[in-house]
Amino acid sequence: MKANFYKHNLNPECSKNITRVLKSNFLSSGNECKQTEKQLQNFFDIKYALLTNSWTNGAIAVLMALNLKKGDEVIIPSMTFVATANVIELLGAVPRFVDVDKKTLLIDLNKVSKAINVKTKAIIPVHLYGNMVDVKRLNNLVKKSNKKIYIIEDSAHCFEGKFNNYLSGKWSDCAIFSFYATKNITCGEGGAIVTNNKNLYNKVSEIRLHGMTKSAIDRFNDKKFQVWNMNRLGIKANMPDLLASLLPSQIKEVYKNHKLRKKAFEYYDRLLMRSNILKPKINEECLSAYHLYTIHINPKIRNKVLNYLKENNIGATINYPSVPKLNYYKKKYFFKDKSFPVSTFWGNGTISLPFYAKIKKNTQDFVIKKLLEALNIYA
């Protein structure tokens, strides 16, 4: 048997949509993107939405719009994907890492309060594995600091997740999503930004298109030629219509597939009920997006277990090593493991198992059987 790490949910409607775009005269960011952005606005009950070609470029565009500069600090969790930190580094600012809660692995809000200082420009809470940070509480913490600090939600893992029944974007300046190949909703590569901040929306709209004041669809759709200008420095971060056309049918079916993900997640839980394997806790107030099924085992045997799973055709991976432990950040900032004990401990022993909406029970049975075999062999 073979257990793939991930399988997408793209359906026949996606093929029809791509064919429709191919028959049109516009392959770049056009009407398909505009319609999908409207769909995102309705889904999140939010004023503005922008599609991007990746989470990373979307985040860079947002930070540029906020005028992030050298010496500014952005607070982020030490347990996240490297992109969360890299976008800050790329703009010459400083990622201010704080450790995560030992139960949920989400950013520790008590540590966030202590990390806020005069250099703090923004905070990026990460909804890790599909589980949401209490952004409303974070919003209140920022207000109490009496400082102008932006909250940017890293919702790459959490399109459909909720906390106390609210979705991403409600209590922050913006939320940024990923539609990368392994995400719950995917178009291979891509992302989106949602916000209620009109000024931020207007700036990012230009920044994602090299700073141009008019997009191609705006210039060519009007009866009169639209002269464009450039008010600010920008990057190439827009999404093409070809990719945007893959999203609408998935968004419509997201909670249908969410039920399948929840069912598969809980089946893994039952299979591991009698083991001493650690798992992050999902808060009662949180409706997880069930993006990844991630466990923790003895760090001394983790890599051996991964190799055993690979030898048995099981696609498992690491999500994620603690970012301050990675060579670039460790050398630049002289981090010690004891500075971030929770994320260091978790990152050294984490494994993400094969997981997707339509994974079959016999596949999950096989995965856990081989996992337990490996744990017995290397114990």
pTM of the model: 0.96
Residue-wise pLDDT for 222-275, tens only, equals 667 778 899 999 999 999 999 999 999 999 999 999 999 999 999 999 999 999
- Tell me the pLDDT of the chain averaged across its residues: 95
CA dihedral 143, 144, 145, 151 (to 10 degrees): -30
Contacts 24+ apart (CB under 8 A), 248-251: 248/17, 248/35, 248/36, 248/39, 249/11, 249/13, 249/14, 249/17, 250/9, 250/10, 250/11, 250/14, 250/185, 250/186, 251/36, 251/39, 251/40, 251/43, 251/185
pLDDT of res. 25: 77
Give yes or no for a contact between 174 and 198, defined as CB atoms under 8 angstroms apart.
no
Rounded CA separation 379/373 (Å)? 10
Rounded CA separation 153/135 (Å)? 8
pLDDT of res. 324: 98
User: Which residues are within 8 A (CB) of 313 and not within 5 positions of it... i.e. 6 or more apart?
Assistant: 1, 2, 3
Strands of 120-123's sheet in order across: 48-52, 191-195, 174-178, 150-154, 120-123, 73-77, 94-98
Other C-beta atoms closer than 10 Å to the C-beta of 229 total 9
Residue-wise pLDDT for 36-49, tens only, equals 999 999 999 999 99
Domain boundaries for CATH 3.90.1150.10 within the chain? 254-378
Architecture of domain 12-252: 3-Layer(aba) Sandwich (3.40)
**Residue 45, phi-psi category: left (phi > 0), alpha (psi -120 to 50), beta (remainder):** left
Rounded CA separation 268/3 (Å)? 14
Domain 254-378, classified CATH 3.40.50.620, yes or no: no
Question: Dihedrals φ, ψ of 120, to 5°?
Answer: -70, 120
Other C-beta atoms closer than 10 Å to the C-beta of 295 total 18
What residues of the chain score a pLDDT lower than 70? 216, 218-223
- Two tokens, residue 256: 């249908």
Other C-beta atoms closer than 10 Å to the C-beta of 167 total 21
pLDDT of res. 215: 78
Domain boundaries for CATH 3.40.640.10 within the chain? 12-252
DSSP 337: G
pLDDT of res. 340: 97
